[in-house]
Amino acid sequence: MSAAFDIVVVGAGPAGSAAAMTAARAGLRVGLIDKSAFPRDKLCGGLFTGRSRKVMQEVFQRDVDEALFLKCDHMRFRAGSEILSEMRDAPPFYLTMRYAFDAMLYERAVAGGVVPLTGQSVQEYDFDDNAVILRDGRRIGYRVLIGADGANSQLAKALFGRSFDPATIGFGLEVEMPHDGRQSENIVEVDFAAARWGYGWSFPKARTTTLGVGGIHSRNPDLKTRMQEYRELHGANGDLRVKGAHLPFGEFRPRPGRANVLLAGDAAGLVDAITGEGIAHAMQSGHLAAQSATGALADGAPDTAYQRYQQALGPIHCSLRQARLWRLMIFPAAMTDVFQAAFRRGSTLQTKYLELLAGEIEYDHLRTALFTRAPKAVYRIARRRLGLSV
Ligand SMILES: Cc1cc2nc3c(=O)[nH]c(=O)nc-3n(C[C@H](O)[C@H](O)[C@H](O)COP(=O)(O)OP(=O)(O)OC[C@H]3O[C@@H](n4cnc5c(N)ncnc54)[C@H](O)[C@@H]3O)c2cc1C
């Protein structure tokens, strides 16, 4: 072995850095591998919710600040050229550039005692010998391995034969539109008509605005055209580079690992099926994976790490299951009118969606709030269908 650790983490995004940080804090020897040297780019809208903020505080003991985050409480919902509603005192969103944000998390993990093994991708996994073999030939030994290597996880592929299901995976396209002195006001915008089973987004940052469209890949064969239309709507013409990436949009892995190998973040498919939010679940699952590994090692039973982790992931899986159910009520074409009308009216649905997007409530709250109002909504829909005034 070139090196041996209690825990080896592959991937130093939010999931991997959180896992490494938690394990190092527990006094374990931790190696953190990433194919990139940091800072590195990661395609993302950079919308950082109240949910993400809480996890970052807990795991990294760091709060949002002006150096890395733009605070915004002006929100707009639209459907193509129609603005459905706009709010100026919305629950606050924080917006960040992943280039700087991920580097900050990574640096905190390294400052916490994690051994960095970056700029090297993994060549092979030797599960029989508990070792990761890097491209440069080094063998890195582990007692527990945590895979946080993103949506195209090579570790998930090594374990299960493929990293994701092409029929259900999401895909997003983005451009960074420079402000060039044009930006008058920071507005977080969501456009329900920009993609099928997904949406378009305009997320302001300090120097640019991130414009994107994304949704279930198989339902959006024309995503490039939709991106072009969304750019035109925002006057983002010019020579801007369009980048694309997969996002595991609600299709999480029911069994994210086995024995002493755990998958966290996008590698485990932990992205919300409606909002596309993944940073909070990535950090949270990395933290839980490290806690599970720490407990298993303390008991001298590394192979029990997965069993503990599966149990710890219960609340995240429950939330993702609920999101998948809600998606069936929100995204089908037959529901578009009802959904958009609710947003025009400034209904409870709109308020709750906004609070959910901002990470202020969870799906349980949404269910309680909406089901108590369901009879009224059904009555309104029935009247509309019968051609009576609402
Ligand atoms: C277009 C788009 C927009 C999004 N917008 C938002 C948003 O606004 N808000 C939000 O909360 N979420 C958003 N997400 C989701 C969010 O980006 C992810 O859920 C989040 O980055 C997951 O973190 P992670 O640590 O699991 O993986 P990643 O951040 O992808 O990190 C994986 C790491 O693994 C490394 N790696 C990969 N393969 C290897 C290998 N073979 N060897 C070594 N290292 C490897 C990579 O270099 C990378 O550093 C968006 C996603 C997309 C695609």
CA-CA-CA-CA torsion for 262, 263, 264, 265, nearest 10 degrees? 180
d(CA 266, ligand 1 centre) in Å? 6
pLDDT classification of 358: cutoffs 50, 70, 90: confident
In terms of DSSP bridges, do strands 257-258 and 261-263 run parallel, antiparallel, or are they unpaired?
antiparallel
* Ligand 1, pocket-test mutation among 132, 203, 247, most atoms within 8 A of CB: 247
User: Any idea what the Cα angle at residue 115 is, between residues 307 and 6, rounded to 5°?
Assistant: 30
Tens of pLDDT, residue by residue over 336-346, are: 888 888 888 87
* pLDDT reading at 268 higher than 60: yes
End-to-end CA distance of the chain: 72
Per-residue confidence at 350, pLDDT binned at 50, 70, 90?
A: confident
Tokens 């039973």 map to which residue?
301
Other beta carbons within 10 angstroms of residue 371's beta carbon come to 10
Q: Which atom of ligand 1 is nearest to the CA of 170?
A: 53
Return d(Cα 201, Cα 85) in angstroms, integer. Answer: 15
pLDDT in tens, 39-66: 999 999 999 999 999 999 999 999 999 9
Residue owning the nearest CA to atom 33 of ligand 1: 11
- Give the confidence band of 183 by pLDDT, cuts at 50, 70, 90: low
Selected residue with higher pLDDT from 380 and 268: 268
Nearest CA to ligand 1 atom 21: 279
Cα 37 to ligand 1 centre (Å): 15
Three-class SS state of 184: coil
d(CA 230, CA 184): 19
* pTM of the predicted model over 0.85: yes
- Give the distance (Å) from ligand 1 centre to CA of residue 98: 9
| Separation between Cα atoms, residue 337 and residue 323, nearest integer Å | 20
Tell me which DSSP letter residue 169 carries: -
Q: Which atom in ligand 1 lies closest to the alpha carbon of residue 271?
A: 19
pLDDT greater than 70 at residue 368: yes
Using CA positions, which residue lies closest to atom 29 of ligand 1?
13
In the predicted structure, residue 207 carries a pLDDT above the cut 60: yes
Q: Which residues line ligand 1 (CB under 6 A)?
A: 10-16, 33-36, 42-47, 121-122, 148-150, 154, 172, 174, 212, 214, 245, 247, 265-267, 271, 276-279, 282
Q: Residue 87 Cα, ligand 1 centroid: separation in angstroms?
A: 30
Residue 352: the pLDDT is 86
382 has a pLDDT exceeding 60: no
pLDDT of residue 373: 58
- Among residues of the chain, what percentage have pLDDT more than 70? 94
DSSP 220-254: -TTHHHHHHHHHHHTT--SSPPPEEEEE-BS---S
Q: Residue 385 pLDDT more than 60? A: no
Q: Which residues contact 165 (CB under 8 A, 6 or more apart)?
A: 251
Q: Which residue owns the Cα nearest ligand 1 atom 15?
A: 278
Give the mutation target among 279, 283, 284 for probing the ligand 1 site: most ligand atoms within 8 A of CB: 279
What is the third-level CATH fold of 3-65+99-165+250-319?
FAD/NAD(P)-binding domain (3.50.50)
What number is the average pLDDT over the span 313-320? 96
Residue 390 CA to residue 379 CA, distance in Å, equals 9
Q: Choose the weakest-confidence range: 85-89, 286-290, 376-380.
A: 376-380
| Residues 59/141, Cβ–Cβ less than 8 Å | no
Give 357: exposed, middle or buried? Use CB within 10 Å, 0-12, 13-18, 19+.
Answer: buried
Distances (CA, A) of 349 to 207, 246, 333: 33, 28, 18
State the closest ligand 1 atom to the C-alpha of 52, by its place in the atom list counted from 1: 11
Ligand 1 atom closest to the CA of 40, numbered from 1? 49
Residue 49: predicted pLDDT? 94
Ligand 1 centre to CA of 374 (Å) is 37
Between the CA of 84 and the centroid of ligand 1 the distance, in Å, is: 31
**Closest listed residue to residue 261, CA positions, set 146, 131, 124, 130:** 146
d(CA 385, CA 375): 15
Query: Closest by alpha carbon to 212, among 179, 174, 170, 242?
Result: 174
Task: Say what the pLDDT of residue 310 is.
Answer: 98
Is-contact 19 146, C-beta < 8 A?
yes
Closest to 354 measured CA to CA, from 258, 269, 275: 275
How do the domains of the chain map onto residue ranges? 3-65+99-165+250-319, 330-385
d(CA 111, CA 156): 29
